[in-house]
Structure 1
């Protein structure tokens, strides 16, 4: 392309890099990604199937868990086409408009996950701090309304992104640093004024991750205060144990995000493979870990899994 700017409407296909410096080991990388996808898809489909089939799981907590599983499937299926094309079929080109669509869905599902984790923290807050009104507060209608609000908020805030990118001229080549399309990656190949994109991107991040994480922390501060007021140590531990799955899911989601931000801000000289691997952790680890966390830490889910296995054996 040289130094000539190209309007995004006439932009040639984007080239997906994969993992920098590991071109010779892509067969192993492909195998790892395939295993991650299998664990994530099978695990989340299993959670959904259990919640639908088991009457004992028709409770608010498991409705939110179902939302989380659907969202994690969305994350997996958003990245799957280009990741498999890059590593399994060595096809690295994706149309620019298709890249924008993938970018939109990846970021939308990521922001929705943050909102669902916030809703789940509210569920734990009501269950522990006001257990007598738990069923009255978290009715099916309110749970559905919360889910629709999370979807609407993520969709509306992310909707301008593809158009903000599409208006830019491009003159720095079209080679992206991942096997999927992300907004920061596309900003690196743009040569126009990207201040609007950066400012709006920061606004959206604060509106989602910033506010959601602050309210999750507030929920757990109130939960901890209520738990410490319980006289019996056994009851305190029992109450805290009901939150452990959610706490692990929050950590699995937010720790990689914080790590990516810290590396981007304070370790700009890091090798490209570090940035790419951390971004992969941020997108691939939570959808894989969440079904495992809830299967291990939640007694009702374990019972449902054992019940299914016992049916297969009989």
Structure 2
């Protein structure tokens, strides 16, 4: 089984806010997106770039995964963002508004030309109608190791803006897009993160959307405020009952009398080998969270 890195809570942090970057060292999020795009005014782009890259180089973020979100490839800041981020060497670089696989292929070539470290990954934001229409082709780019693609991030706010879809409880207008992106990600072995929840005061609504995202198959949720971290961590982690069941399935298939069997009875229900594989992932995720 591939190594699992928990991405239950992935918090956007404004790259222009030095105090926020410092505070982020103590926030219990699994990953931090240090943002040079939406959270930064045009006149502050250059200073934010330097500040973010200095923070990445300085470290001190513990086990938290560090991701730098650049400005879009069609902006005057992208080239400098990519070069500076590659030199700082975070865990990943997040590219906004990826609408075609060719964009990722070009970025992969640029990173290789910049002598970026082999472990530096690329994350892609899926946030345009074209991205949804071509999401399988974009995910397929992950088959080429030079592209470095390892994760999709849903940009639900931009999708709503571009399509005029409304935000409603249950997200019915967006469900076809979310599930299409999940299927594409899983088909090519990459992780995928749910979009943000905007109403920071509506804890019940946030909980419902986290649970929906988990049940749909997302690995975690992108967040806009530190107060959302604890709940996302809880929802996207296996609970005690799920973990106990997973361990019992693994143990049952390990019994001598069940060796070589494709299906067994356990607790009055039929359990197949595929359930054992699912159980192993549950346990592996729990162990990765525990560190």
Q: Note whether the superposition's TM-score is higher than 0.5.
A: no
Look at both structures and tell me which one has the larger radius of gyration over its CA atoms.
1
Higher helix share: 1
TM-score range, shorter chain: under 0.3
Q: Which is bigger in relative contact order (C-alpha 8 A, separation at least 6)?
A: 1
